[in-house]
Amino acid sequence: METLEAIKTRRSIRKYTESAVPDDAIETLLEAAMAAPSAGNEQPWHFIVIRDRNMLEEISKKHQYAQMAKDAQVAIVVCGDETLEKYKGFWVQDCSAATQTLLLAAHAQGLGAVWCGVYPAKDRVSAFRELLRLPDHIVPLCVVPIGYPAEEKPSAERYSSARVHHEAWE
Burial of 9 (0-12, 13-18, 19+ CB in 10 A): middle
Contact with its own copies (CB under 8 A) among 108, 111, 143, 146: 108
| Binding letters toward its own copies, positions 17-56, x by CB under 8 A | -----------x-xxx-xxxx-x---x-xxxxxxxx--x-
In whole angstroms, the minimum distance from the beta carbon of 43 to its own copies comes to 6
Contact between 67 and its own copies per CB under 8 A: no
Question: Half-sphere exposure of residue 70, counting CA atoms within 13 Å on the CB side?
Answer: 10
115 versus 148: smaller Cβ distance to its own copies: 115
In whole angstroms, the minimum distance from the beta carbon of 150 to its own copies comes to 19
Which is nearest to 119 in space by CA: 101, 147, 138?
138
Cis status of the peptide bond prior to 120, with omega within 30 of 0: yes
Contact between 120 and its own copies per CB under 8 A: yes
- Contact criterion met (CB below 8 Å) for 19 and 150: no
Contact between 125 and its own copies per CB under 8 A: no
Q: How far is CA 146 from the centre of its chain?
A: 9
- Contact criterion met (CB below 8 Å) for 98 and 41: no
Contact between 83 and its own copies per CB under 8 A: no
Only segment of 14-22, 145-153, 159-167 that touches its own copies (CB under 8 A)? 159-167
Phi, psi of 63 (to 5 degrees): -140, 110
Which is nearest to 54 in space by CA: 69, 42, 37?
69
Contact between 150 and its own copies per CB under 8 A: no
Contact residues for its own copies (CB under 8 A)? 1-4, 6-8, 10, 12, 28, 30-32, 34-37, 39, 43, 45-52, 55, 87, 89-90, 92-93, 96-97, 99-101, 103-105, 107-109, 114-115, 117, 120-121, 131-135, 138, 141-142, 155-156, 158-160, 163-170
